[in-house]
């Protein structure tokens, strides 16, 4: 009996993911982001607010997503500030909570590019740095009816620089979803 209670939710999630038609819809999101953790990085830089845009579509299981995010770190010591741009591709699972609310846990990988205000001569002499980034997060969305939805997201980024950067972001935004035409759907398949 105790295993039945564990298997039922997993079965429901699996069936809802497999029942979707790949590339049948497109969801576009825009959100404001804020870095909220404190680490060694934050001894030298203070995070400013950022922005992220994303596009996702149903895949064979879950949703496939591409994202572009930007944010700024202002200097707090004698090191130059920098702007960061991250581009990622990922996969998320849709878990229905109610008929209007969804949870989307997901993972992604990509590139994290830092452009410094001036050359970092004390370190590498470079004005920019580009590193591998991986992330894990969860997005909670509320359907507003028709095609629009609002959402919030918590996301952890691990940037493979030396030393490693561990960044936690919270964000909120608005999105719209639309059906894909048969021609575009066929091209993506």
Q: How much is the pLDDT for 67? A: 97
pTM of the model: 0.80
Lowest-confidence pick of 47-51, 55-59, 119-123, 129-133:
119-123
In this predicted structure, the answer to whether residue 15 has a pLDDT above a threshold of 70 is no
Closest CA to 124 of 77, 74, 79, 71: 79
Q: How much is the pLDDT for 41? A: 79
List residues bridging with 159 in a β-sheet: 133, 165
CA distance 93 to 105: 6
Of the pLDDT bands very low, low, confident and very high (cuts 50, 70, 90), residue 33 is very high
Domains of the chain from N-terminus onward: 2-188 (2.40.160.20)
49, 34 Cβ separation under 8 angstroms:
yes
Cα 126 to Cα 82, 87, 118, 122, 162, distances in angstroms: 12, 21, 8, 10, 14
103, 95 Cβ separation under 8 angstroms:
yes
For the stretch 145-153, contacts whose Cβ atoms lie closer than 8 Å and that sit 24 or more positions apart, written own/partner, are 147/176, 147/177, 147/178, 148/174, 148/175, 148/176, 149/174, 149/175, 149/176, 149/177, 150/174, 150/175, 151/29, 151/31, 151/175, 153/31
Alpha-carbon Rg for the chain in angstroms: 19
Cα 9 to Cα 12, 15, 18, 37, distances in angstroms: 5, 10, 14, 33
Is residue 62 classed as helix, strand or coil in its secondary structure? coil
Q: How much is the pLDDT for 60? A: 84
Q: How much is the pLDDT for 45? A: 87
Of the pLDDT bands very low, low, confident and very high (cuts 50, 70, 90), residue 117 is confident
Q: Which one-letter DSSP state was computed for residue 187?
A: H
Burial of 142 (0-12, 13-18, 19+ CB in 10 A): middle
Of the pLDDT bands very low, low, confident and very high (cuts 50, 70, 90), residue 103 is very high
- The rounded mean pLDDT for the chain is 85
pLDDT in tens, 158-167: 999 888 899 9
In this predicted structure, the answer to whether residue 124 has a pLDDT above a threshold of 90 is no
CA distance 19 to 61: 9
Question: Which uninterrupted H or E stretch holds 167?
Answer: strand 165-179
Of the pLDDT bands very low, low, confident and very high (cuts 50, 70, 90), residue 57 is very high
In this predicted structure, the answer to whether residue 75 has a pLDDT above a threshold of 80 is yes
């Amino acid at each position: 009996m105790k295993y039945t209670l564990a298997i039922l939710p997993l079965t429901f999630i699996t069936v809802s993911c497999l029942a979707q038609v790949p590339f049948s819809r497109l969801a576009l999101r825009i959100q404001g982001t804020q870095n909220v953790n404190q680490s060694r990085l934050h001894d030298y830089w203070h995070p400013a607010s950022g922005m992220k845009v994303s596009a996702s579509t149903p895949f064979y299981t879950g949703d496939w997503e591409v994202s572009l995010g930007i944010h700024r770190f202002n200097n707090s010591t004698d090191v130059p500030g920098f702007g960061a741009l991250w581009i990622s591709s990922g996969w998320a699972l849709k878990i229905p909570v109610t008929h209007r609310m969804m949870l989307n846990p997901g993972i992604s990988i990509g590139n994290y590019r830092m452009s410094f205000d001036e050359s970092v001569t004390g370190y590498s002499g470079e004005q920019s740095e580009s590193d591998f980034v991986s992330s894990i997060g969860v997005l909670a969305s509320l359907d507003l009816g028709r095609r629009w939805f609002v959402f919030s997201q918590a996301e952890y980024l691990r940037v493979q620089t030396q030393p490693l950067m561990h960044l936690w972001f919270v964000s909120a935004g608005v999105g719209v979803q639309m059906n894909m035409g048969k021609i575009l759907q066929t091209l993506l398949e």
